[in-house]
Structure 1
Amino acid sequence: MKKILLGFLLISSIGIAESIPAIPIIPILPPIEGEVGKPDVPTLPTEDKIESDGRIRKLEKNTTVLMNVQLKVEVPLEIISDVDIEAMVIDDMKLEIPFEIELNKKPEKKDYYKIKFSENKIDIDSDGQIDTTIYTPPYINTKIVKDNMVYIDGAKISKEGKHSRKVYMTVEVRE
Structure 2
Amino acid sequence: MKRKLIILFGAIILGATQTYSSPTINDVVTTIPTENGNVELPEPPQKSTDEEIQAGWKLEKNYTALLQSKLNVFVPLEILSDIDINAVVIDDEELNIPFELELNKEPEKKDYYKLKFSENEIDIDSDGKIDTFIYSPKYINQRIVKENYVQIKGKNISKDGDYYKKIYITIEVDE
- How high is the TM-score relative to the length of structure 2? 0.65
Deviation of 1:66 after TM superposition, in Å, equals 7.9
- Secondary structure of the 1:155 match is helix
Larger Rg over CA atoms: 2
- How large is the RMSD of aligned CA atoms in angstroms? 2.3
* Match runs of 1:29-108 below 5 Å: 45-52=41-48, 68-108=68-108
Write the letter of the residue equivalent to 2:145.
V
- Is the partner of 1:97 in helix, strand or coil? strand
Partner in structure 1 of residue 9 of structure 2: none
Shift of 1:69: 2.2
Write the deviation string for residues 7-56 of structure 1: whole angstroms up to 9, x where unpaired.
xxxxxxxxxxxxxxxxx9xxxxxxxxxxxxxxxxxx89442331325xxx
Q: Is 2:117 the counterpart of 1:121?
A: no
The whole-number CA distance in structure 2 between the counterparts of 1:149 and 1:136 is: 7
Q: The residue matched to 2:155 in structure 1 has which SS?
A: helix
Instruction: Report the TM-score, using the length of structure 1 for normalisation.
Output: 0.65
Shift of 1:67: 6.0
**What is the match of residue 151 of structure 2?**
151
**Residue equivalent to 1:137:** 137
Q: Residues 150 and 67 from structure 1, CA distance in 2 versus in 1: closer, same or farther, beyond 3 angstroms? A: same
Unmatched 5+ residue regions in structure 2? 1-25, 27-38, 50-64
The one-letter amino acid paired with 1:140 is I
- Name the % identity: 60
Q: How does 1:7-18 map to 2 (within 5 A)?
A: none
Any idea what SS the aligned residue of 1:73 has?
Answer: coil
Which residue of 2 is the match for residue 168 of structure 1?
Answer: 168
Distance in 2 of aligned mates of 1:139 and 1:52: 75
Which amino acid in 1 is paired with 2:110? K
Pairwise CA distance, 1:165: 0.2
- Check 1:78–1:44 CA distance in 2 against 1; reply closer, same or farther (3 A cut): farther
Alignment partners' CA distance in 2, 1:174 and 1:127: 34
